[in-house]
Amino acid sequence: MIDLRTPISEDQIRQLHVGDVVAVSGTVVTARDAAHKYMVEQWIEGTPAGDDAALLAILRPVLAGGVIYHCGPVVRQDESGRWHFVAAGPTTSSREEPYEHKVIGALGVRAIIGKGGMGDLTLGACAEHGAVYLHAVGGAATLIAQRVREVEDVYKTEFGLPEAFWRIRVEDFQCVVTMDSHGGSLHKEVLEKSRRRYREIMGG
């Protein structure tokens, strides 16, 4: 088990390879479809001003050397107004493929947590900028929520609670490196092997 605590350095990331098991601790930011679209259109390709600029100022230092988790949590709010994660399973990462390489490059994100893997654009960004994709266990949403020790803040709730940016503190969030900064992708390997096997069976 390799411990990763945010902020994570590029050197730490470059030492990781496909198949390594890691335990992430520290601050993590959740972001799904609406959040990724917003980051690219407003922060990266746009000229942020007003509330958009203010949020960028808050999250840029968190994302630099940080971790984005593809997650639409189930949450509850207690009587004091504090938020708690009830379920925090990973969502399918492929939907963020058009955006993630830009987010990694512009904001200095070191790790993406999700399920199902991502494509060549993200893999290229991992190699160029020093980042990894970490695969979380699907179907373990309530167990993963136990790794969330604190909800530090939430932003853009107008996107809907599952699509908002949740800034959370996690401890020992265990994942497997399935895309590394050396061009390795377990997802790509499995797909290529499956295609070869299909051709063998079908005689193509």
pLDDT in tens, 9-49: 999 999 999 999 999 999 999 999 999 999 999 999 999 99
Closest to 93 in 3D by CA, of 161, 36, 151:
36
User: For position 137, what pLDDT does the model report?
Assistant: 83
Bigger pLDDT: 199 vs 61: 61
- Residue pair 37/202 in contact by the 8 Å Cβ criterion: no
Confidence of residue 100 (pLDDT cuts 50, 70, 90): very high
Q: Is the pTM of this model over 0.85?
A: yes
Task: Judge whether 36 counts as a catalytic residue.
Answer: yes
State the CATH number of the domain containing residue 120: 3.20.130.10
pLDDT of 140 over the 90 cut: no
**Exposed e or buried b per residue across 194-204, where buried means at least 16 C-beta atoms within 10 angstroms of its C-beta:** eeeeeeeeeee
- Domain range for 196: 2-202
User: For position 64, what pLDDT does the model report?
Assistant: 98
Select which of 17, 36, 70, 187 is catalytic: 36
Confidence of residue 198 (pLDDT cuts 50, 70, 90): very low
What are the CA-CA distances from residue 140 to residues 49, 89, 90, 99, 146 (Å)? Answer: 39, 6, 9, 26, 10
Measure CA of the first residue to CA of the last residue in the chain; give whole Å. Answer: 42
User: Considering its fold, how many domains does the chain have in total?
Assistant: 1
pLDDT of 194 over the 90 cut: no
In order, the DSSP letters of 89-146 are PBPBGGGGHHHHHHHHHHH---EEEEBS---HHHHHHHHHHT-EEEEPPTT-HHHHHT
Closest to 14 in 3D by CA, of 115, 143, 127:
127
pLDDT digits (tens, 9 = 90+) for 50-72: 999 999 999 999 999 999 999 99
Bridge partners (DSSP) of residue 3 are: 23
